[in-house]
Amino acid sequence: MDLLNALVALSNFVLVPAIAYGAQLALGALGVTLIYGILRFSNFAHGDTMAFGTMATILVTWWFQSMGIGFGPLPTALLALPFGILACVLLLIGTDRAVYRFYRAQKAKPVILVIVSIGVMFIMNGLVRFIIGPGDQRFADGERFIVTARDFQAMTGLDEGLALKTTQGITVVTAVIVVAALFWFLNRTRTGKSMRAYSDNEDLALLSGIDPERVVLITWLIVGALATVAGVLYGLDKSFKPFTYFQLLLPVFASAIVGGLGNPLGAIAGGFIIAFSEVTITYAWKKVLGYSLPESLEPSGLVQLLSTDYKFAVSFVILLIVLLFRPTGLFRGKSV
């Protein structure tokens, strides 16, 4: 038995990746949940919104790289991020003006808006593939690791190494900053409070003189920023591929629903719940168990509950369980 090595292996293969993935999902789910809270529909174009913002960031990154601009040990994409956000926000606001506003004025049923968002999803998906192509893009540069497994082994003298990728570090730091800023905005500023008020009770917000169009505009602004940050962090950590981003829709929605649609705190909790479940259930536990169990009990197989291809099944099953036993999510969401 060697619990210390077990803990390091667990951190290396489960905890650290799940925290990074959870942060990415949480940022994605925050966007979904804000749209649901303010505009009152489930936006199926959110995965492709993330893809668009990331694509714009990648293009600017390439441009910076071609001009020899870098960010030292950090990825150049972080410098390009504001430009990606800008492009994404412009696209979203344009879409709102051209598409969603009409249905808002009509007071269309939420399900109609969902179908409309499917049309938007097609267009954004096509746009992204048209501009950057359907292939895989890796755009992370700079230092790859904060701590490599070998350094860690050398430092601690343990058999197991704990690698910490730069992208994982950046993901967590960025996510913390973004979430803190968002909650500060929503809870401390007048505009943020008016958004919460509008989400809570639209009619009363109107009676209080809150301008719905302004609330909607600011929502898209925030959503564009959140989606781009989430997408870029995910892309840095793994890679960018339009179809993968479309598929992120499922875990992102699962996070938002599990936490309670419309509830920002819930979106964050949901993101981590989904990420940890996915990673733990699809991880091969042989190594960790090997360290932590007495020799006689050491497992012979991989001890992988499900192959990684079934990771969608995990988010899905958690989603169903939560919906069946607590239909408004863990943190009381709202229903339109």
- 210, 217, 221, 330: residue in contact with another protein (rule CB under 8 A): 210
Tell the smallest beta-carbon distance from residue 23 to another protein (Å): 22
Q: Which residues contact residue 232 at a Cβ distance below 8 angstroms, ignoring those fewer than 6 apart? A: 53, 54, 57, 77, 81, 84
> Closer CB to another protein, residue 155 or residue 335?
335
Are 151 and 206 spatial neighbours (Cβ–Cβ below 8 Å)? no
Q: How far is CA 162 from CA 32, 45, 283, in A?
A: 33, 37, 16
Distance in Å, CB of 100 to another protein, minimum:
10
Q: Does residue 189 bind another protein (CB under 8 A)?
A: no
320 binds another protein (CB under 8 A): yes
Query: Biggest alpha carbon distance in the chain?
Result: 71
Any contact of residue 130 with another protein (CB under 8 A)?
yes
Binding region for another protein (CB under 8 A) out of 2-10, 57-65, 122-130, 152-160: 122-130
Q: Which residue has the tokens 């492709």?
A: 48
Mark residues 276-315: x for contact with another protein by CB under 8 A, - for none.
-----------------------------x-x-xx-xx-x
> By CB under 8 A, is residue 90 in contact with another protein?
no
Per CB under 8 A, does 180 bind another protein?
no
Q: Which residues contact 238 (CB under 8 A, 6 or more apart)?
A: 244
Q: Is 105 in the site for another protein (CB under 8 A)?
A: no
Three-state SS for 282? helix
C-alpha–C-alpha distance, residues 322 and 53, integer Å: 31
DSSP-derived secondary structure letter, 304: B
Query: How much helix, strand and coil, in percent to the nearest 5, is found in the chain?
Result: 75, 5, 25
User: Minimum Å distance from CB 2 to another protein?
Assistant: 25
Taking each helix axis from N to C end, the angle separating 264-282 and 311-325, rounded to the nearest 10 degrees, works out to 130
Q: What does DSSP assign to residue 89?
A: H
Is residue 197 part of the contact set for another protein (CB under 8 A)? yes
Cα-Cα end-to-end distance for the chain: 53
Between 21 and 100, CB nearer to another protein: 100
Binding window for another protein (CB under 8 A); candidates: 54-62, 109-117, 155-163, 170-178: 109-117
What residue ranges bind another protein (CB under 8 A)? 41-42, 44, 99, 102, 110-112, 114-116, 118-127, 129-131, 133-134, 190, 193-194, 196-197, 200-201, 203-211, 243, 246-247, 249-250, 253-254, 257, 305, 307, 309-310, 312-313, 315-316, 319-320, 323-324, 327, 335
